[in-house]
Structure 1
């Protein structure tokens, strides 16, 4: 099993291209099930989760082809993919595929809308909380679907098609918003989705669906209006830049020091994280190339953070921000309000010398002058990269194992960091 080895203490200098957002690419790929024409996606990241979803979509009959790179194009640039679901050959998403990645459950919306039936395994994914699918099921029932749970599968039917309705989500769920918005595009009549999640990735999906012929307004706000249409067509759409990758590399620069331009980054999607990073001592400016991040000469200051739905501080940056706070001057507090089991990185950061105590959903971090390199183990996607961030500043060598978690969400992380001077390499077992 591969590991990542880091020798810390080297400031980062140079530029890092920001990949397409995983959290946008996955629902965009799933949207290909809604049409029998080709959906072309640009800037698709090369990630294990993306590859896994290709397998799942192929099981339903989606043909996938990859367009070649243009002359002179950066080798770290995203790929262009054509997805064609001319005929859905199977409406079952089996356990052995869905259990590996939670987002694959979202195929239930397009399958049900286009084919009138779907049989989808209950999902898997990172072990960071229960994250039930009740909101999905009740929302699809409100659209007229008959749904039963049978032997670990959600079995849904709408033989006469889905019917628009007013749906209020009990909680602003990103996955439920994606799924119900896709399903409603082919429903008869108007659907109003209230208390919808407002993440930029939902707005990105909405723009792609509109390009495919959907009638949608309010995507990216808490109330989305969808007027169903008989069919959708093919389209071309570029995946938005990954705000979580952007924030992660910005935090890495703040931790290790240096001066890095994050090429193609969108600061508009990171207002709260940028505010907190500036309070912690990072100098962040928006440029015509993206975002420039520098660490000033006064060290890192302790800053409190609390996760919240967008536009608040994202839970997907919580572990990375905590890594930065381990070197902060003074005491900081990080509170997790989204998932109930997302502090698994705390024990591993402690192996590097971090001083962190937990009280319920709040972590108290006492900043230390120096972290010390040590062997550590990744426990989930975002926790794994927090260990990389800490290792970049730690004295000596840090070795991160179980990095298959990293490969699920960060494209060529070691190449991107090493080209900025980081002493980081992938080591095969």
Structure 2
């Protein structure tokens, strides 16, 4: 089988699929992407580059659409080159939203087009209007509606689609639900496994917490309101004053991955550090970490705080659970699909700062009583999100 993966970031959700399919000598796997870094054995990487950036004068409602069209055009040109080199895919599997899949049915009309549908945007009822302090304008509502244009094109054009969780599938228009299968990417439970008595020592970060018994962790791609960073940092300022032996470790970059940046150019990290008082000897920012060090962090965690707006579910929450970690998650739909309060984790209101602190202390004061929750957390991932099971199902779905 000839298969073409499409994703601007390499390898993203397709890492395990591309790796496994490339091991089969009967397959030829090509991965079209904008990202030059990285490689997978047996996978031919094909770089596409849009001809230009979105123009500043483009109406702000349709900048997302223009960007998607530019990416789709670049992929079309890449596909035309692949065709001249006698690569005709039987299947094209791409991430919907950024645009690479837009014109696949025009260049490869006989290929089966599969789309990974991660999110469908709504002005009301999910992420955009979640914080009452950030009311939407009419411009916001119109812009959010238009962000769905390339996704709607893919929903029409694709043969089949996949969404990682029920919550995420439910965001898409009901009339397209019959096209979308729910199947998570999967968690490598052999890699993300418990390590009793794990100690956190990151020598290159000059971080040695091997003698620390209370470690609160937080992981996100960026430090932003979508993942509850301001609420977490306010809670941390209280927590560190109440618990003199507690340390907090934050993994992620000082940037906004989802949502809006601050209008004055400050980062949310800068804002939080200016707004509240902290004992910086016990507050540790590691930046992004390689998987081996990230694993050390979550294995040594006493309690892991995961806050999110009603938005896509992060891999990190499931990976923490796979290590037998105790997750204190926000009581929002994507989290509630996985965590049942006081069964396989703890839940808390996203905006309830004092309650976040209380529940963290609840874990730190009764770690032995939380042992069952940790066991159930790992069992949940092994039963419903294990990569070894889901990968086989995912490949079968591709071949269908």
Q: Give the structure-2-normalised TM-score.
A: 0.31
Q: Please identify which structure carries the higher strand content.
A: 1
Q: Give the structure-1-normalised TM-score.
A: 0.29
